[in-house]
Structures are given as structure tokens and as C-alpha cells.
Chain A
Amino acid sequence: AQKVTQAQTEISVVEKEDVTLDCVYETRDTTYYLFWYKQPPSGELVFLIRRNSFDEQNEISGRYSWNFQKSTSSFNFTITASQVVDSAVYFCALSEATGGFKTIFGAGTRLFVKA
């Protein structure tokens, strides 16, 4: 069965600190997709990144980077030099290629970045 665990409920950092948000997933499928979404106070979830199960290359996009490790079933997200605008709830999600493609979201990590 699909499962996504985001063990960190809330994280508080000071601006310019680096912060890593953890995501651990469970799946029996060999083909699946992992996502990160950001939910700012306005409410809508905003897509950040997608990774498929066959691509373990880490990715960097500006201050954001993602570390995908199949051996530990983890897909962690790091924000370098955090800014106040990064304050939001971040969700990790898993979608399997079989079983109807339903997307399962983790419970989210609320990030507070203080000036």
C-alpha cells in the first residue's frame, strides 16, 4: 500500500539558514512518481518538482535541491539560504503507475522562516 511520511510537523529557522524537509515513502510498485508541493497561506498547492522512480539524479533549482534515494525510500528537500517568503506548508506526494494512479500526500511540514 502507498504511504508517505513527513515526520517533521513544524520547523522554524532564521532567515539565511539552510533547512531540509524529510520525506519517506512506501510502495510496492517499481514505477512511481514523487512530488513536492508548496502550500502558502493563500491556500493553493503549488507544484515544485516531480521525480520518477527510475531517475535518482539529484536536482537543483536555484535555492532548492532534492535528494532522491531509493535505497532508503526517501525524497528529501533542501532550501539553501532560506527566506521569509519560503514560509509555507510543504507536502511530499507519491503516485503509483498502477492501481488507478491515485496520489497520496504526506501530512505536510510547516516551515517558519523568521527575519
Chain B
Amino acid sequence: EAGVAQSPRYKIIEKRQSVAFWCNPISGHATLYWYQQILGQGPKLLIQFQNNGVVDDSQLPKDRFSAERLKGVDSTLKIQPAKLEDSAVYLCASSISGGAKNIQYFGAGTRLSVL
């Protein structure tokens, strides 16, 4: 069974530029998550989708971050414009459904460096 796919693995941009990350979850998983992991910290949820609807985006900086999951499968996370503090690893995860007990399966992440 294929795991969660993310691309690119690494991205270096200058501040005020825009960047996009892509995620393809495990086939059949209804719930998709985007996390931000700053160096030395645990992952922080940015947005959670159930199929193509948003369940939780309370911690997404909506003035610069946006995400979509148009067909309920793969998803794109965008940052525009990027700030220095956005340097982090962006992790995508998926689970069969969105309940509290569900195990999340993670991709390898995209490491973003903003210069």
C-alpha cells in the first residue's frame, strides 16, 4: 500500500515569495491534515479536511496561508507571501476518518527555508 506522498522534499525561497506544497494521501483516506513543524517542536495542526470540506483551520494564518482539497483526494498548501518565520517542515497526514481515535499516517514532509 502506498503511503502519503509529498512534494517537493525541499524548497528554498526568499521572503515575500510564494510557495506551494502538494500532498497525496493514502487511497481511501477521507481525512487529510497539514501540520507545521518548527525545528525542535512538535507538529502543529494548520488545517484538517474531511473529504473536501474544512473541519478545522483555527491555527492557519489565513492572511498568508491557504489550502484546498478540491476533489477530496490530493491537497495543496500555499504560502503567499512567505515570511522568515515560516521556515519549517510542512507535514501532510491522512487517516481513514476524522475521529479522535484515528491513527494518522504521515508523509516525509517538505522542508521550507525562507531567506
B-binding residues in A (CB < 8 A): 4, 31-33, 35, 37, 42-47, 50, 52, 91, 93, 95-97, 100-103, 105-108
> Can you list 8 A-B contacts with CB-CB less than 8 angstroms, sorted by A residue number?
A32-B100, A43-B89, A44-B106, A46-B106, A52-B101, A97-B99, A100-B48, A101-B100
Q: Which residues of the other chain, A, contact B48 by a CB distance below 8 angstroms?
A: 100, 102
Secondary structure of the A side of the interface?
Answer: strand
Q: Could you tell me if B98 and A91 are in contact, using CB atoms closer than 8 angstroms?
A: no
Chain A CB within 8 A of B91 CB: yes
**Cβ contacts under 8 Å, A52 to chain B:** 101
- Interface of chain B, main secondary structure: loop
Complex interface: stretch among B16-24, B38-46, B65-73: B38-46
- CB distance A103 to B104 under 8 Å? yes
**Which of A31, A47, A102, A107 contacts B42, CB < 8 Å?**
A107
User: How many angstroms from the CA of A46 to the CA of B102 in the assembled complex?
Assistant: 14
Contacts between chains A and B (CB distance < 8 A), count:
65
Least distance between A37 CB and chain B CB atoms (Å): 8
Q: Is the CB of A44 within 8 A of B43?
A: no
Is B103 close to A, CB under 8 A? yes
**Bound state CA distance, A76 and B109, in angstroms?**
27
Q: When the two chains form their complex, are residues B45 and A102 in contact, meaning their CB atoms are under 8 A apart?
A: yes
B25 within 8 A of A: no
Q: Are A107 and B41 in contact (CB under 8 A)?
A: yes
Residue of A with least CB distance to B91: A45
The answer for the CA separation of A107 and B56 in the assembled complex, in Å, is 21
Q: What 1/0 flags go to B88-115 for Cβ under 8 Å of A?
A: 0101010000111111111111010000
Q: How far is the CA of A95 from the CA of B99 in the complex (A)?
A: 9
Tell me if A105 and B105 are in contact (CB < 8 A).
no
- CB-based contact A100/B109 at 8 Å: no
